[in-house]
Amino acid sequence: SNNLMAGKRGLIMGLANDKSIAWGIAKACADAGAELAFSYQGDALKKRVGPLAESLGSDIVLPCDVADEASIDALFEGLKEKWDGIDFVVHAIGFSDKSELRGRYVDTSRANFAMSMDISVYSFTAVMQRAEKMMKPGGSAVTLTYYGAERVMPHYNVMGVAKAALEASVRYLAEDLGRDGIRVNAISAGPIKTLAASGIGDFRYIMKWNELNSPLRRNVTTSDVGNSALYLLSDLGSGVTGETHHVDAGYHIVGMKAPDAPDI
């Protein structure tokens, strides 16, 4: 534990359970002294998120469906009742119909394309519109992306297109909010077995491939992602904005199958 986040207050969005990337980030921030608030989607998740929040000393647990503008407004109104400002935001939210996270990208439907972009891309911008008003210079936000934004990955399909748009939106948000001293970055995480990932076709194969072929010859954990998020969310990252930072055991630098990797 350290004091990197002492005196800082942050909102964590996208916690579903203790396998969530949001949980790895929340733990790293709490361990560093941050005070946390959590949002959850739907009543079913409240039962999970409540106790997890409590275990990190947080009693601010508010509902938010990012597909609904009024719900985002209500989240920030609820937050304002508790806190006069926030120092950081974590956006760990993405969604697509899992029937389109397999097969061919070309078969993506208009309706699922629009929904995937709305929930996985626009929601971050919508959240930052509200968060900006509660943030002072030194504020920092992090969203989660994946290498499928940069290269074609099997089954990632419309989510790859959405993540490319999310990474572009991080750059535009960094410029707009940078004038007020607020930083905006993305972490491109390697594959991790979470609820959202279980919807992706052949996910076990993708994890195995990354484990065998990444420079570190392993997969990353939510605590690897949490540690890097801590750097970007704390003052350690004070000169970094608009960046997509890979936390993927180095997989994105690799050009070919590793010489020692067995066939799978």
**For binding to ligand NAD (CB under 6 A), which residues are involved?**
14-16, 20-22, 41, 45, 64-67, 92-95, 119, 144-146, 189, 191-192, 194-197
- Nearer of residues 94 and 226 to ligand NAD, judged by Cβ: 94
**Which residue type sits at 184?**
V
Q: Which of 146, 147, 172, 205 is catalytic?
A: 146
Exposed (0-12), middle (13-18) or buried (19+): which is 227, by Cβ within 10 Å? Answer: middle
Q: Active-site residue 172, yes or no?
A: no
- Work out how close the CB of 12 gets to ligand NAD at its nearest, in angstroms, rounded to a whole number: 10
Q: Which of 40, 147, 156, 251 is catalytic?
A: 156
Residue 86: phi and psi, rounded to 5, are: -130, 150
Q: Quote the tokens at residue 175.
A: 């410029």
Residues contacting 131, CB < 8 A, separation 6+: 11, 76, 86, 89, 139, 141
Q: Closest distance between ligand NAD and the C-beta of residue 11, in Å? A: 12
DSSP 59: -
Q: Looking at this protein, which amino acid is placed at residue 8?
A: K
Nearer to ligand NAD, 197 or 229 (CB): 197
- Tell me the binding residues for NAD(+): 14, 20-21, 41, 65-66, 93, 163, 192-196
* Separation CA 146–CA 157 (nearest Å): 12
Residue closer to ligand NAD (CB basis): 86 or 149: 149
Smallest distance from ligand NAD to CB 256, Å: 22
Give me the active site residues, please: 146, 156
